[in-house]
Structure 1
Amino acid sequence: MKRFPKIVLLLMSVILMILPVVFGLMLYLETKGAINDSFLDSKKSKSSLRDKPVDPSLDHVSVLFLGVDDSNSRRKGGQKANQSRTDAMIYTTFNRDKKQIRMVSIPRDTLSYIPAVKYYDKITHAHAIDGPKGSMESVESTLNVPVDYYARINMEAFVEVVDELGGIEYDVPFNLDEPNTEDKGRIKVKKGKHNLSGDEALAVVRSRKQDSDLERGKRQMQMIKAIIKKAQKTNSINKLDDLVKIVGKNAKHNLSFEDIQTLATSYSSSIVTIKTEQVTGTDANFNGSYFFNPDLENLVKLSNKLRKDLDLPKTNKKQFMNYLMTQTYGDLMPYIEVTKKSLKQGNGQINKSDSADTVEPAIEPDSQESVQQPSEQPSVQQPEPSAEVPQEAPSQEVPQQAQGNEAQSGIPNEQQPSIETY
């Protein structure tokens, strides 16, 4: 059985966040046949934001990592994997020249355009509507960057991995009372330092009742570091052989064995910098449902960092659908059907021959998605579309300029990659 360098396991453990160690094991432990068993080709063969398909052996590439709320109990209840919501979305770039990996955490309730249904909704619903393809297209719409590949894993795998590692040391920020993996009991953990079991660790990274979607993203990033710390121990690595079977039944992706092998060998050096970022924004309510409204300036800034990683031209806010939507309606509005005709690139004018009707959502919010949020958060109102908006021509794309405030890549020791958090 071919074994990839230890650093690859650590890197992929970081990248996959609450998808973490399992997919890394696929790189570290599995044979070609086992990897191919978890291969599930997406309908999306090439990003519409790419001129041609990418080759990881030659190009800088991106991978969207998806953690879904799929479990054995939910499958018994009739839920299919492609109908599950995403609890974690990590958009990741791999830059071959810099030996750099950048991860962007996208809050699950981010208000995002879903091309499959032609309206804005929570980005977590994109996967339930159209599977991995739906998530890939929604992330492209939100960040204005291509998604080349995806990897999806369910929460049962995360639980089993943490348990196999012997638990994860973590300082829980508040008292927890969350459903367990099977939705048949409660996970209760008191505030303070604990060695968390898999179920307890999952409750920490999924909970958002005590604070917010944004804070949950921060906890997920903290959990990354805790998993790295535990996975670095030789004894932990030796325990992982039994987890090979978990990958085959719980992970799906559209990376070929050759793609994975290329990524593993390209980023096997200890001189690898890992940068973490997060989509920021504000809380909002629409008809009693909570949404996370992303900040456009933050999206543009993130997009240009990611586009620079991928050696793509610089973008500007006028090239984002969110900009066109706000120019037309004053804000991002869920459940309004919008098309290329109703939101024209460059001026956002409404074509009066198109109606802008509110539609019934394909996915109804569940009880956890309608939790009470802080009393001061704004309420999103349904405005009348304006007849005219400023008619500004989109700026020409220019080569990406160096980011002036980028942190410098350090050279980590042989056991741990450099991690920079923004």
Structure 2
Amino acid sequence: MKRSDRKKPRRLWFKIPLVIILLLVLGGGAYAISIYNNAKSTVNEKMSEPVEAIDTTVTKKKMKDEEPLNVLLLGVDARGADKGRSDALMVLSLDPKQEKMQLVSIPRDTRTTIVGKGFEDKINHAYAYGGSEMSIATVENFLDIELDYFVRMNMEGLEELVDQLGTIEVNNEIAWNDGTYNFTKGPVEMDGAKTMAFVRMRKQDNAGDFGRTERQRKVIEGIVDKGASVASVNKISGVIDVLGNNMATNMDFDDMKDLLFNYTNVRKNVVSYMMEGSGTKIDGTYYYIVPDEEITKVHGMINEIKS
């Protein structure tokens, strides 16, 4: 997947807390204050997950001075008691002065050293071994960068979120039938269960995990579009509650507001990049090997934003 500039940036899943919690809340009419307070409480008390790997006092100063920021985005597929793995790993770089947003996707099977364990494994296993803390340290070590924030969402919560909204609509690019649902090419309306079938399909998509990631992005776009039209107090409050149960971040509510209002122009110029490499088997296990020159290239891309 090549680097590309997009005139109309896609709404990605990491924008849920900013868009749904803030835009809906701040524009909510007569009941805005009560919803605002509920959102603030939910973010600061339920979503809050401080991490030792990131010094937020330094980050808050950067944000105050409107300096570039790096945010680690984790999409975790955790079910029941299973802690899960980070099936989606992305580094989001925000540069308000150049009005630029850069999103680098790291393939989940990428083989690298797991910081805190001292051995090589798939990069998405870092979350299973040591949660967000170990994922942050491993990505920082892999790319030799400094992260300022992280946002983690449990993908299982998408089903509950869609059902809370009613249904969502996405533009499907490939047709398939999984035995339960028929996905036609073009606009498809989905409830929560059908949404999960849509994002989890891999075998019938020639793009494999890359195609799955693209469908996840389409689903979040559909969620944000539907959320923007929600007028019911119960639905808005319900959405906030669902996010509180399925999202975690080291941002507080004030950080989210600052990002929304002071970094909003970064969406004018969006660059997306998927790290490139090749697949191989080592001792019978599939890994994605990213060569050193590719790692150096991506390190430079991120540092260009930070400089």
Distance 2:240 2:218 in 1: 25
- In the other structure, the counterpart of 1:57 is 64
Larger Rg: 1
1:242 aligns with 2:247: no
- In the other structure, the counterpart of 1:159 is 159
Q: RMSD in angstroms over aligned alpha carbons?
A: 3.0
Distance 2:268 2:202 in 1: 32
- In the other structure, the counterpart of 2:21 is 26
State percent identity of aligned pairs: 24
> Displacement of 1:129 after TM fit?
0.5
> Displacement of 1:24 after TM fit?
3.4
- In the other structure, the counterpart of 1:86 is 86
1:39 aligns with 2:34: no
Change (3 A) 1:137 1:166: same
Distance 1:45 1:20 in 2: 21
User: Contact between 1:162 and 1:168, CA under 8 Å: does it hold in 2?
Assistant: no
1 or 2, which has the higher helix percentage? 2
Give the one of 281, 289, 292 matched to 1:293: 289
- In the other structure, the counterpart of 2:4 is none
- In the other structure, the counterpart of 1:346 is none
> Displacement of 1:198 after TM fit?
3.1
- In the other structure, the counterpart of 2:74 is 66
TM-score by length of structure 1 reads 0.58
Distance 1:116 1:126 in 2: 9
> Displacement of 1:300 after TM fit?
2.2
Matches of residues 135-150 of structure 1 in structure 2 within 5 Å?
Answer: 135-150=135-150
Change (3 A) 1:188 1:158: same
Counterpart residue type for residue 57 of structure 1: K
- In the other structure, the counterpart of 2:33 is none
Distance 1:295 1:165 in 2: 44
TM-score by length of structure 2 reads 0.78
Counterpart residue type for residue 44 of structure 1: A
Matches of residues 4-403 of structure 1 in structure 2 within 5 Å?
Answer: 14-16=11-13, 19=14, 21-22=16-17, 24-28=19-23, 29=25, 30-31=36-37, 32-37=40-45, 38-46=47-55, 53-54=58-59, 55=61, 56-58=63-65, 59-71=67-79, 74-75=80-81, 79=82, 83-163=83-163, 164=165, 166-173=167-174, 175=176, 177=178, 188-190=181-183, 192-193=185-186, 194-210=188-204, 211=206, 212-223=208-219, 230-231=225-226, 235-236=229-230, 240-269=236-265, 272-311=268-307
User: Contact between 1:170 and 1:226, CA under 8 Å: does it hold in 2?
Assistant: no
User: Contact between 1:154 and 1:251, CA under 8 Å: does it hold in 2?
Assistant: yes
Unaligned runs of 5+ in 1: 1-9, 178-185, 312-422
Higher RCO structure (Cα 8 Å, ≥6 apart): 2
Aligned residues: 277
- In the other structure, the counterpart of 1:391 is none
SS of residue paired to 1:235:
coil
Distance 1:104 1:237 in 2: 35
User: Contact between 1:61 and 1:95, CA under 8 Å: does it hold in 2?
Assistant: yes
SS of residue paired to 1:276:
strand
Distance 2:15 2:242 in 1: 12
Distance 2:231 2:296 in 1: 39
> Displacement of 1:225 after TM fit?
5.5
User: Contact between 1:112 and 1:141, CA under 8 Å: does it hold in 2?
Assistant: no
> Displacement of 1:45 after TM fit?
3.0
Change (3 A) 1:234 1:249: closer
1 or 2, which has the higher strand percentage? 2
Change (3 A) 1:41 1:309: same
Counterpart residue type for residue 127 of structure 1: Y
Residue by residue, what CA displacement relative to the aligned partner does 1:229-276 show, whole Å, maximum 9, x if unpaired? Answer: x35x85357764530111222111111223222111113359732222
